[in-house]
Amino acid sequence: MEVQEQINKFYDFFEKKMHDELAEQMSKDNHFIVADFNELSKFDIELSELLLEEPEELIRAAEIAVEKFDFNKDTRNFKVRFRNLPESQNIKIRDIRSKHLGKLIQIEGIVRQKSDVRPQVTSALFECPSCGNKIRVLQISSKFREPTKCPCGRRGKFKLIDKELVDAQKIVVEEVPEELTGGEQPKRLDVFLKNDLVSPISEKKTNPGRKIVLVGYIKEIPIELRTGAKSIRFDLMMDANHTEPVAEEFSELELSKKDKEEILKLSKQENIYQLFVNSLAPSIYGHNKVKEALVLQMMGGIRKRREDSNVTRGDIHILLVGDPGAGKSQLLKRVSTIAPKSRYVSGKGASGAGMTASVVKDEFMRGYALEAGALVLTNGGVCCLDELDKMSTEDRSAMHEALEQQTVSISKANIQATLRAEAAVLAAANPKFGRFDPYEIIAKQIDLPSTLINRFDLIFPIRDLPDREKDEKLASFVLNLHKDKNANKGPIDTGLLKRYFAYARQNIIPELTEEALEEIRDYYVKMRSTTKTEEEGGAIHSVPISPRQLEALIRLSEASAKIFLRDKVLKEDARRAIELVHFCLSQVGIDPETGRIDIDKISTGITASQRSHISVIKEIINELENTIGKSIPVDDIIKEAKIKDVSEEKAEEIIQKLKRAGDIFSPKPGFISKV
């Protein structure tokens, strides 16, 4: 097919099929148009096949065809983009071979790295100093090319008088994890973006962590050896023609009119809350309270930004601590399939940099580039972190900022950046010795730093205790699942569940009513006032609930109102939140000595009664030091402690604690001295 014929055919295609769209783009002053490949193949099959074989020439012909239209606007440098390529052109990154060079293909992947937008020379105009002849040189390779000789015979030393620049950017696209089979490492491909693909609006579509579909053609890039010569091996790079983000966040899922009608119809059902709980993980038996909390987590509270630019997070963090085989990982996996933009990460295979962000050397643009970690990649989604207890202490400490402030600050090499990590975290861990000891209090067996535990809104201990009736039901349930894989189907299918969450998060912003506020206030004040009793005298009082739980109550109440698509948080929503928080506190935060709820058991690891004992022992040490001297016998301390109602066992435990804290030391066996 002659070039002129190609241009004429494209002209006919745009005139008959896309004239209105072209006119609209021109009126908006947008210098590009996106054409559907399906439409082109219906219009002219020969032209569409040729486009797949020789994309560079054909796309240029399409651009020349657009320039022929008379819109009283400058149509130079107008770009034509193609989307929706046939199935045969959908190539996995790992399957790209030399036969694909120069062909138009479509790939899907996740953006892992992104360089800055920089100008790039596309063509340069030179003048010959001898004869004044003007020579234009196209800049195709990465090296700047000058003319070799002029028709007048002159070689070298030409004067550069003009150059054409375009905005260019490189991104690194990695394969989508769902498409990988066992044992495969995700492959990467460098993608080159130019012109309108790097405009401020398009740039948001290619942020690290975004899942995108790219249409473009593969080019080879020569690898230079250290000697300066070219290698016989070449690198691959995609010159992108079109980028399209795959809807990944709740806020981006587009809902049709039919979807909205279906959602509103579902919201009017009386038992909607129970339907959600039953549909969340129908293949897991029991754990209704946990499922309830997970439904609220997916809905999320309201993120509030105040005038003093202070931000209160709306995401709900949940920690599941339980016996092995209790279905924690299954729940996490299920949530990662329902929530868009969610990731499943396992503790042993996760590092601090992998969870937050790392700085890598960028060979292409020379310098350093940021590579986002799991918490940044799931911004706007849910990060499911399994085996939290298997992560090293340094790596866990990297998560503190991401959990509360919901940002990740990086100060490495020459990069100072703060990345957004507005993700809800659902974490799972095993108890200290692998399984809960039924005779030991639960809080003692959670082997996680108190500073990290404190940032979770809800903590659920999942215990697996033998119980004949319960075990029979569980066995029947699991065996039935194996017999019939379609048994125990949830009442709401996953697609509708996803759309419902998306609709609620996009459109519903509930406000707290006075009744709901009163309910939460009453609960908070009532819990705090149960601390003081007559018999305690001057002892340190336990703190059953802290302001952090107060914020959790508000977030959970807002999420509950969202389920019913209400714009007001009612008393019943507040009660539902109180019930969940109280359930968690009564399971994890009981002080065994007083039998009361004590938040310090979770947040600091030391209960009020223990703290009270510590102050008693410290007082005894001070008194004995004044009477005996620097070296104090341990037996004397224990005797004094007994008089003040502290048992021998407790006194010894506290002495060991003080030694570990560095307050006292042992100069010789059986004696202690203050530091």
**pLDDT 10s digits, 568-593:** 888 888 888 888 888 887 776 555 45
Judge whether residue 540 has pLDDT over 50: no
DSSP string, 559-608: HHHHHTT-SEE-HHHHHHHHHHHHHHHHHH-B-TTT-SB-THHHHTS--H
> What is the radius of gyration, based on Cα positions, of the chain?
33
Contact 101, 218 (CB under 8 A): yes
Pick the range with the lowest mean pLDDT from 226-240, 360-374, 550-564: 360-374
**pLDDT 10s digits, 379-421:** 777 888 888 777 777 777 777 787 878 888 877 766 777 777 8
Pairing of strands 188-194, 424-429: unpaired
Judge whether residue 599 has pLDDT over 60: no
Judge whether residue 602 has pLDDT over 60: no
- Residue 431 DSSP symbol: -
Which is more confident, 523 or 179? 523
The strand pairing partners of 410, in sequence order, are 417
The predicted pLDDT at position 83 comes to 83
pTM value?
Answer: 0.69
**pLDDT 10s digits, 93-148:** 888 888 888 888 888 888 877 777 778 787 888 888 888 788 888 776 667 778 77
Contact 282, 266 (CB under 8 A): no
Domains of the chain: 3-84 (3.30.1640.10), 104-246 (2.40.50.140), 257-507 (3.40.50.300), 608-674 (1.10.10.10)
Judge whether residue 542 has pLDDT over 60: no
Strand boundaries in 455-564, DSSP class E: 458-462, 511-512
The predicted pLDDT at position 407 comes to 81
